[in-house]
Structure 1
Amino acid sequence: MGAACTGVAFAATSNASNASNTSALDEKIARIEQGLSSSVVVKGAPDQKMRLEDRMRYHQVPAVSIAVVNNGQLEWARAYGVNLVGSSEHTTPDTLFQIASISKAVSAMAALHMVEQGKLQLDGDINKQLKSWQLPDNEFTQEHKVSLRQLLNHSGGVNVHGFHGYPEKQTVPSLLAVLDGEAPANSEPVRVEAIPGTEWRYSGGGYSIIQLLMTEVSKQDFPQLLQDVVFTPLDMRHSRFASRLPDEERSHAAAGHEVNGEAIEGLWHQYPELAAASMWSTASDLTKIIIEVQQSDAGTSNKILSSQMTKTMLTRGLGETGLGFFVEDKSDGSSGSSTNVSYTSFSHSGGIEGSRSLLFGYTKTGQGAVVLTNSDNGMALIEEIFTSIAAEYHWPDFKVTEKTAMAPDPVLNQKVAGEYQLFDQPAHVFTEADRLYLQCNVLGNKPLELHPEANASFFLTAPDATVRFETDAENKPTGFALLKGVNTYKAQRVN
């Protein structure tokens, strides 16, 4: 075992075929390891490339596992750090991570496989396929019923965005208890809260319904079903669905860590919501999902789905999702038309207690990557890693944007400094010299500099977001709006 950079041990695998190729690949990996960047940089600032080792330390992320697909195959995989903070157990490419909501994409592929077998119906009332439990009808389902398709693409109007999990020593509810929100479940009952098919609403609760449906129809428990349908055909030997990892495998798994850098109690939470959140895997194993989707879309493999079903899976419904993946059509611009769609990106991120992850791939180009971390702070680091990978492999996504920062306004900074509440969490805005900072656990536990770009409007570099302070008729701050992508989140001033 060597060292990628001083202080962080790594283990590696690659598909380089000779010494010359190995040397070139090592140089490529080194550029990625030393070329991390936030998605936004301040124009005119010194070189802002960062080293992976330094960013792991900064974000307090003990372990990272990276695997890159190029030319339709796994090109390389490396793991960095340790499985548990303070330990000497080095992370390897075979270390298991909880991959959280990436589970949904894998579960969706298995569900669509059952559709192609004629065992499940993609459209029509889901209740007509369920046996031991029914999704209660209400005022939203009088004319339109929830279908499997809508559950897969989050358009069924179903609630329960995500799940909290259960600490090691806590009683874990049955799936039926989760669906009805009955003790000891710590989530709401899974119910319809909007007319099916009228709006996009991300729902882990919907995937719990899918889990029940798949097990009832197949007459198999969910882990064995996914083993048969996905893991065995794709030779994913380091993947499994489990609410709690068996004792004999726990020493080979990366423990979860909180935003303060400490290991979570019991090292992992348990998730009976298997389809939605409870897959364990490695970055290398997950690249087999990327490659199979790419090959199936191209019509060269049908280990799980036909080419036509894969194309259906990668077609957007409402919002940004297909049937399991977040998808975006791309154009290579060869015809000079912005509507010349030539390939599609497909992805899914994951975030549960102590774990953050991202799977991302393209059809037709044979490119993609998986990055897994064992920390609640992991997503900021993941975005920095993907920015470096994308630059090295010339991807059209994860590009760095330069923004111009205005001169600081000390008077404005002092006026907006104070205590706010964002997502029911405290958000602290404070000054340091002539600079303004935002600190909020929702965005990680590190102070984030607010760079002025217009009157009372500031930009962040990581994450890529804008903060706009709001005032009342007397010009006193009342809150701020956090703008990230197409979403706007409101924070209220509390002092």
Structure 2
Amino acid sequence: MRRIPSIHRRGDMRLLLLGCVVGLSLSATAAVAADPDRQRRVETGLMGAAVFGDRPETWSLESRMAHWKVPGVSIAVVDDGKIVWAKGYGVLAAGEPAPVTARTRFQAASISKPVAAAGALSLVETGQLSLDGDVSKVLKTWTLPANPYTAERPLTLRDLLSHTGGTSQHGFPGYAQGAAVPTLTQLLDGKAPASNPAITFEARPGERWKYSGGGYEIAEQVMIDAAGKPFPDILAERVFKPAGMAASGYARPDMGAFALAHGRDGRTIPGGWHTYPEHAAAGLWTTPTDLARFGIALSRGWQGKAGGMLKPGTVKAMATEVKDGYGLGVGLQGEGEAFALIHGGANRGFKANWVIHPGSGDGVAVMTNGEAGDLLAREILRAVARTYDWPDYRPEVYQPHALPPDVLASRVGDWSVGEGDKRMVFPAKLVDGRLVFVTPRGEFGFVPIGPTTMVSVDLGIKAEFSKTEDGRDKARVFGETLTK
């Protein structure tokens, strides 16, 4: 099975260091509810990445929202090319009564990229852009920075949409309320008030895959110069309108119509949200229902049905691997019936996940307003996959291993990595027979599956225990080597 490399995999350990504590008041409001039985099964069937034995442990959505300290969630489920239900849960802001509904807008974060890619591909269909032409010949209001790489091999739109352009800048932090916000050219040049350095080249185009929000901002400028229109107008005309995405846009919605972001301290972040002027990379405001409609439009194009947003050949190009499991704006996962287009999103205080199987027209969009919302979203994806009998997104099944009590107890204590001010400590404790690592982001329980191996229920990652040459306890976990 083909798997996209996780967009955040290189930062797995740092990901675990993000904390989030929020108060929760659960409510639920539905806009579409045509499948109440299976909807209820999803709401009560959340699962971890690892399960044990023949009867997997399941949880309710309410309990997992409380566990992960996520105040608001919205879900839209697609079955056979139709939205069968969409529903909001929880609240817009911790400690406040206003509920999340299926119409509540969230920041899509990096799910902005497949939407932007669809807009770019529409311009290719109408002949205003070329996938493999030199984009420097299209740019009018900005020029590529001098570099030794593009003289050898011109930069193309295909490079930019597939993260193979050799460009810099993984992601963007956004701008707090009251802060000056840069224009696109200021952002590309790294000039005040932009918070990022100039977007530059680090490698020859086409040479390697490296996630680059900076590359998507170059693509945004290319689209503007090719179409002669503002980027939001291009997307409204070429993506939002044909896909029926009436709740999507790049301007901040009216107060009360969108969820607020929540930070590590569990409170609404100052100002309530960050502004992301990087429209193509991270700036979309939308709903799961609109993201579901976007997936349906791609699926219809893939299948050659009426109502597709792009032509079948264009969708096939979008869904063709360029490098390392990534197509044009989308991650590619699985084969055959399990083949899916996927993307996640992570802005400050907003986390989201989007999946569409173009062949079957099955998919889901989950949007949250909590820092641990990505973990909650994965549990929701597994519940949807099990309920709707998808061939993927199933947890790994293990048989638990009975460790002697003294061996398990020997793994309790402070595990650390690094020295001096770079030293990070992960206390471990026993809870109900599980070894629980404590991180600022949350507590992650590990179950023994062998004499020296444990697996995380929540994350599905393994911890391998051994000894150092000088006899200290050693654990390989979270992508790092910890010692105790």
- Measured against the shorter chain, the TM-score band is 0.7 to 0.9
Please, which of 14, 37, 44 is the counterpart of residue 34 of structure 1? 44
Task: Give the 5 Å matches for 1:37-76.
Answer: 37-43=47-53, 48-76=57-85
Q: Which moved more, 1:267-276 or 1:211-220?
A: 211-220
Separation of aligned partners in 2, 1:117 and 1:440: 50
Secondary structure of the corresponding residue to residue 30 of structure 1: helix
- 2:204 is the alignment partner of 1:195: yes
| Deviation, structure 1 residue 255 | 0.5
Are the counterparts in 2 of residues 258 and 377 from structure 1 also a CA contact under 8 Å?
no
Give the structure-1-normalised TM-score.
Answer: 0.86
Separation of aligned partners in 2, 1:9 and 1:346: 31
Q: Which residue of 2 aligns with 1:436?
A: 435
Q: Which residue of 1 aligns with 2:363?
A: 368
Q: Which residue of 2 aligns with 1:417?
A: 414
Q: Which residue of 1 aligns with 2:19?
A: none
**C-alpha distance 222-410 of structure 1, shift in aligned 2 (>3 A):** same
Please, which of 163, 187, 190 is the counterpart of residue 181 of structure 1? 190
Q: Which residue of 1 aligns with 2:214?
A: 205
Please, which of 26, 39, 43 is the counterpart of residue 8 of structure 1? 26
Separation of aligned partners in 2, 1:411 and 1:381: 30
Are the counterparts in 1 of residues 415 and 482 from structure 2 also a CA contact under 8 Å?
no
- 2:343 is the alignment partner of 1:353: no
**C-alpha distance 123-172 of structure 1, shift in aligned 2 (>3 A):** same
Q: Which moved more, 1:92-101 or 1:471-480?
A: 471-480
**C-alpha distance 394-190 of structure 1, shift in aligned 2 (>3 A):** same
Matching residue's letter, 1:331: G
Are the counterparts in 1 of residues 232 and 250 from structure 2 also a CA contact under 8 Å?
yes
Q: Which residue of 1 aligns with 2:173?
A: 164
| Deviation, structure 1 residue 384 | 0.8
| Deviation, structure 1 residue 134 | 2.3
| Deviation, structure 1 residue 301 | 3.1
Please, which of 255, 258, 273 is the counterpart of residue 278 of structure 2? 273
- 2:450 is the alignment partner of 1:458: no
Deviations 1:34-70 (A, max 9, x none): 11111212337x7511011111111111111111111
Separation of aligned partners in 2, 1:451 and 1:182: 50
Deviations 1:185-232 (A, max 9, x none): 222321121222121111111101011111122222111221111112
Please, which of 134, 150, 153 is the counterpart of residue 141 of structure 1? 150
Are the counterparts in 1 of residues 299 and 308 from structure 2 also a CA contact under 8 Å?
no
What percent identity do the matched residue pairs reach? 33
Deviations 1:103-162 (A, max 9, x none): 000000000000111111211322222122222243333422221101101111212111
Q: Which residue of 2 aligns with 1:490?
A: 480
The two structures, once aligned, show a CA RMSD in angstroms of: 2.4
| Deviation, structure 1 residue 472 | 4.3
Matching residue's letter, 1:429: P
**C-alpha distance 62-178 of structure 1, shift in aligned 2 (>3 A):** same
Give the structure-2-normalised TM-score.
Answer: 0.88
Are the counterparts in 1 of residues 31 and 101 from structure 2 also a CA contact under 8 Å?
no
Are the counterparts in 2 of residues 420 and 479 from structure 1 also a CA contact under 8 Å?
no
Q: Which moved more, 1:385-394 or 1:165-174?
A: 165-174
**C-alpha distance 255-7 of structure 1, shift in aligned 2 (>3 A):** closer
Secondary structure of the corresponding residue to residue 243 of structure 2: coil
Higher relative contact order (CA 8 A, sep 6+): 2
Deviations 1:309-350 (A, max 9, x none): 111111111011111111135225xxxxxxxxxx73111111
- 2:292 is the alignment partner of 1:287: yes
Are the counterparts in 2 of residues 68 and 74 from structure 1 also a CA contact under 8 Å?
yes
Are the counterparts in 1 of residues 396 and 460 from structure 2 also a CA contact under 8 Å?
no
Separation of aligned partners in 1, 2:265 and 2:460: 22
Matching residue's letter, 2:115: V
Please, which of 380, 383, 391 is the counterpart of residue 386 of structure 2? 391
